[in-house]
Amino acid sequence: MDLNADLGEGFGIWRLGDDEALLGLVTSANVACGFHGGDPTTMRRVCEEAARRGVAVGAQVGYRDLAGFGRRHIAYDFAELRDEVLYQLGALDAFCRLFRTRVRYLKPHGALYHAAAHDESQAAALVAAVNEYDDQLPVLCSPGSTLAQLAVGAGLRVVAEGFADRGYLPNGMLVPRNAAGALVTDPEQVAERAVRMATDRTVVAVDGRVIPCPVESICLHGDTPGAVASAEMVRAALIDAGVALSPFTA
């Protein structure tokens, strides 16, 4: 199982989360590319540390929305979104190359992640960007989403992702962040959910129902309160359960 986290999301003098600590615990790093969070100095620092630790770097691409942290929906034109995703991929890859690594996958962030789960135009823009940049890059996204379907149709590798620290609706979608039950912050509960995803391929929804969750990668949000403590417990719990941890790109 792969364990990933959203990293490098600070900006300027503002740090968000403990990137260095999380890089010692995860196997893949979804690095912000400067649109919803991150900046060149942060991108360089995180890429250097990820390369040193052997952590796979993925481009966490988002809307051009620093003020809203990429969590506000934007009705993009197809070509504009495609090109902005290409821009972000190239920027992060430049810093990766300084440290003899490269961008190994793409993951959309925030509102773009949710839009691409059902919006065919925005999902298609992401697929087009990956195809034009490097059609060997996997796409990390929700299983069964529109993005997953279009990516598979385009011949791209899709890696299904689950969220140990987010609440799920009975239909398999994430609970909106402005609704009760959106975040799971108790480290023990996060670890329990991660083990269930990895061993049983299921998750308990907010209404108590057990629903399918067939994933290859488990995400922890670096900006969630107690993220490092949760990551420590998740990693330990997965290993104790006999789950080997490695990047899905290995």
pLDDT tens readout for residues 167-179? 999 999 999 888 8
Tokens 């209404």 sit on residue? 207
Tens-place pLDDT, residues 138-152: 999 999 999 999 999
Tens-digit pLDDT profile for residues 7-66: 999 999 888 889 999 999 999 999 999 999 999 999 999 999 999 999 999 999 999 999
Q: What is the pLDDT of residues 81-127, one digit of tens each?
A: 999 999 999 999 999 999 999 999 999 999 999 999 999 999 999 99
What's the alpha-carbon Rg for the chain, to the nearest Å?
17
